[in-house]
């Protein structure tokens, strides 16, 4: 049973089904979720389950956008303008940057390829987020308002220089598309793998656990209204530009468009 922090407040509860989980165990866990006043969603067992796996993909894209030339505050402003209660980096500061750092270090020790980012450098300088008064943003004593910090912007500039990055202008439209479309594509992959059973389960998870704006219906509902053919076309554009595998449209997205008689993956 995967609770969300802070567990006494957050309504979402992912109930993780293992390979040998029986029906009685499932039913008991879902019943307990209701008794606790939680919204239980049955999910499969995989890294990050459903909600965090999509969040990790968005975080990676937000980091890449900053490396390309955006600022953390700019990325966050685009996400809050979309309707999220807080942006990616403000959320990371709230949760504690060291939490993600430890998870990445465990994966590296296990042999996974996890590139180092400027976020790792912040943690190694003792900037862990709100709890230390400094993370991606700085915080005044007794005040949770995130404030841009010139020291972080300088650190990011040094990281770009070390990586040989040529800084370019990044538009608000690109920020929204890269952050949101990568989430949709990862969600389709999760459905393909059976980690989530239905698109509505992903909507419930992101509405109840991550602040997806309720007036937009949910991640998958919004994607349909945005236009899956539009999303697929931009995914292919980003894939052509970067060659990165995570931009290749998921099989489930391609199937959904084929069934609707629209779109199709490029050869």
Residue 139: predicted pLDDT: 97
Q: List, for residues 231-267, the tens digit of each pLDDT value.
A: 999 999 999 999 999 999 999 999 999 998 865 444 3
Q: How far is CA 154 from CA 78, 116, 151, 190, 252, in A?
A: 22, 17, 5, 37, 41
Which is nearest to 213 in space by CA: 86, 57, 74, 42?
A: 86
Residue 262: predicted pLDDT: 60
Q: Cα(51)–Cα(33) distance, rounded to whole angstroms?
A: 17
| pLDDT above 70 coverage of the chain, percent | 98
Mean pLDDT of the chain: 95
Q: List, for residues 2-47, the tens digit of each pLDDT value.
A: 998 888 999 999 999 999 999 999 999 999 999 999 999 999 999 9
Residue 111 has pLDDT above 80, yes or no: yes
Token reading at 140 = 């005044």
* Residues whose CB is less than 8 angstroms from the CB of residue 22 and which lie 6 or more positions away in sequence, other chains included: none
Q: List, for residues 64-87, the tens digit of each pLDDT value.
A: 999 999 999 999 999 999 999 999
Which is nearest to 55 in space by CA: 190, 160, 148, 156?
A: 190
Residue 113: predicted pLDDT: 84
Residue 222: predicted pLDDT: 98
Which is nearest to 90 in space by CA: 103, 78, 76?
A: 76
Q: What is the mean pLDDT of residues 159-165?
A: 96
Helix (H, G, I), strand (E, B) or coil at 101: helix
- Whole-prediction pTM value? 0.94
Decide: 211 and 76 in contact? Cβ < 8 Å. no
* Residues whose CB is less than 8 angstroms from the CB of residue 7 and which lie 6 or more positions away in sequence, other chains included: none
Q: Is 2 considered catalytic here?
A: yes
Given the residues 2, 215, 239, 246, the one annotated as active site = 2
| pLDDT band, residue 195 (cuts 50/70/90) | very high
Peptide bond connecting 6 to the previous residue in cis, omega within 30 degrees of 0:
yes
Q: What is the mean pLDDT of residues 178-196?
A: 98
More confident residue, 110 or 220: 220
């Amino acid at each position: 049973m995967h609770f969300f922090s802070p567990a006494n407040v957050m309504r979402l509860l992912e109930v993780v089904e293992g390979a040998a989980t029986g029906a009685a165990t499932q039913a008991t866990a879902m019943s307990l979720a209701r008794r606790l006043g939680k919204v239980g969603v049955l999910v499969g067992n995989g890294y990050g389950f459903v909600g965090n796996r999509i969040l990790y993909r968005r975080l990676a894209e937000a980091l890449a956008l900053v490396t390309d030339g955006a600022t953390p505050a700019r990325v966050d402003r685009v996400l809050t303008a979309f309707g999220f209660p807080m942006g990616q980096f403000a959320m990371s500061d709230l949760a504690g940057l060291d939490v993600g750092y430890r998870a990445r270090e465990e994966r590296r020790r296990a042999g996974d390829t996890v590139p180092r980012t400027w976020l790792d450098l912040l943690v190694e300088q003792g900037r862990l987020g709100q709890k230390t008064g400094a993370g991606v943003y700085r915080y005044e004593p007794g005040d949770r308002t995130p404030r841009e910090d010139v020291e972080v912007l300088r650190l990011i500039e040094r990281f770009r220089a070390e990586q040989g990055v040529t800084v370019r202008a990044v538009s608000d439209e690109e920020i929204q598309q890269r952050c949101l479309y990568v989430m949709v594509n990862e969600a389709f992959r999760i459905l393909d793998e059976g980690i989530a059973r239905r698109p509505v389960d992903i909507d419930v998870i992101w509405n109840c656990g991550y602040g997806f704006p309720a007036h937009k219906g949910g991640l998958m509902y919004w994607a349909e209204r945005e236009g899956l053919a539009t999303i697929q076309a931009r995914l292919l554009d980003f894939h052509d530009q970067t060659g990165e595998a995570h931009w290749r449209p998921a099989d489930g997205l391609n199937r959904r468009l084929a069934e609707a008689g629209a779109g199709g993956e490029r050869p």
